[in-house]
Amino acid sequence: MTTPLTLTDQRRPDGTPVLVAEGEIDMSNVGEFRASVDRAAAGGDGRLVVDLTAVDYLDSAGLAALFAHADRLELIAPPLLDPVLTVSGLADLATVRIA
């Protein structure tokens, strides 16, 4: 059974791609998440913003999808995800804003 996840592509006024995720990101839906992150990254020539403020759970498969773009990634995350982003090391490689 696939865990519910909604993904929405947006753009900031300056053209920066933004991927908004809502739900839980785990092994059951990471393929869809990875494809959306990859597509959003291909749609811009600089930063990629991933808004995780409405994500309740992020497992190692979801982290791996984000690590692939860490050098240009800006994550907006809820306080709930701060420990996993820090312990995984992703917070050291990407820009992370806790909202």
Query: ∠ CA(54), CA(55), CA(58), 5° rounding?
Result: 165
Q: Render pLDDT for 60-71 as a digit per residue (tens, 0 to 9).
A: 999 999 999 999
Quote the pTM value. 0.94
On whether the CB atoms of residues 73 and 48 are closer than 8 A, the answer is yes
CATH of the domain at 71: 3.30.750.24
Find, among 37, 95, 27, the residue nearest to 58 by Cα. 27
User: 93: which 2 tokens?
Assistant: 């490689």
Q: Render pLDDT for 8-59 as a digit per residue (tens, 0 to 9).
A: 999 999 889 999 999 999 999 999 999 999 999 887 678 899 999 999 999 9
Total domains in the chain come to 1
Give me the domain span that covers residue 85: 5-98
